[in-house]
A = this chain, B = another copy of it.
Amino acid sequence: MSDNRPIGVFDSGIGGITVLKALRAHLPHENLVYLGDMARLPYGTKSADTVTAYSLQTTKHLLTHDVKMIVIACNTASSVALAPLQAALAPLPVIGVIEPGAEAAVAATKSNHIAVIATEATVRVGAYVRAIHARNPDAHVVQEPCGLFVTLAEEGWVSGDVVEATARRYLTPLFKRKAAPDTLVLACTHFPVLAKTIRKVVGRGVRLVDSAETTARAVEAALDIQGLCTKRRGRGTVKFLTTDSVDRFSRVGGIFFGEVIRPKDVELVDLQFS
């Protein structure tokens, strides 16, 4: 059995391409379709109802590409829309980034003190706290919404005095406590591009964890269990879709992907007016 249908991946914009990149590295033979909802980003400042409605629209579009699985490459959408999407799309498998991220955090910590930085929406829902406690009830988890990091990453301001001042303002209170966390979860797909500055502020002793790698491994395991792997040998294809700003998507997306994305390889799709 060989299932050559693509895996559908979506995010509010470009950040999720860090997850796509990890999928590409772990599962080079699989075909991938990535949809960035650039027309409505960011998701992280919006209500759970709105993010869920957007997520249902994006996945509905991915279904027209005959996908065999949905990967929610966005922490906010994973936090609020995973269960509704699984219910709406069953038996199609839907995988979010929270559980794999929590897995990575629990594996990384030695002191059981974990800090989670994320968007306002992800923090409000508390999905990481629950997912970490489900694996380790003794873990101490502190959370901090770091909304400005998203804009900084999108502006390409990944180092320099502004990012550093922002990181200090957000992170210093988290790590200036008696039992300081030894693990920091970058619980937004935008944050890994700021890792160098974040590392500078929190110090070498803290482990930085993100969901990209562990999500790719979770996808690999799910494909395997459900007999959905491709058996093709050649390198799979990657198709890019965006709801707005093809040029910006290809320019900034290429940085996140680590490969050139040409504007002509990005298809503009309309989820709202069609």
Q: Could you say which interface size class chain A belongs to?
A: 20 to 34
Residue of B nearest to A146 (CB): B155
Q: Kindly list chain B residues whose C-beta atoms are within 8 Å of the C-beta of A162.
A: 148, 162, 165-166, 169
Pick the contact of A40 from B40, B147, B154 — CB < 8 Å? B40
* CB of A220 within 8 Å of the partner chain: no
Pick the contact of A165 from B46, B165, B272 — CB < 8 Å? B165
* CB of A151 within 8 Å of the partner chain: yes
Within 8 A of B (CB), among A129-166: 147-148, 150-152, 154-155, 157, 160-162, 165-166
Pick the contact of A148 from B39, B157, B244 — CB < 8 Å? B157
A46-B50 contact, Cβ under 8 Å, with A152-B148, A272-B272? no
Q: Kindly list chain B residues whose C-beta atoms are within 8 Å of the C-beta of A38.
A: 46
Q: Kindly list chain B residues whose C-beta atoms are within 8 Å of the C-beta of A248.
A: 45
* CB of A172 within 8 Å of the partner chain: no
Within 8 A of B (CB), among A224-259: 243-245, 248
Within 8 A of B (CB), among A2-54: 38-41, 45-47, 50, 53
Contact A272 B53 (CB under 8 A): yes
Copies in the complex: 2
Q: Complex: how many Å from CA A248 to CA B165?
A: 25
Q: Complex: how many Å from CA A160 to CA B245?
A: 33
Q: Kindly list chain B residues whose C-beta atoms are within 8 Å of the C-beta of A53.
A: 272-273
Q: Complex: how many Å from CA A115 to CA B161?
A: 24
Q: Kindly list chain B residues whose C-beta atoms are within 8 Å of the C-beta of A169.
A: 160-162
Q: Kindly list chain B residues whose C-beta atoms are within 8 Å of the C-beta of A45.
A: 41, 154, 245, 248
Q: Complex: how many Å from CA A233 to CA B54?
A: 45
CB distance from A59 to the nearest CB of B (A): 15
Q: Complex: how many Å from CA A87 to CA B207?
A: 57
Contact B165 A155 (CB under 8 A): no
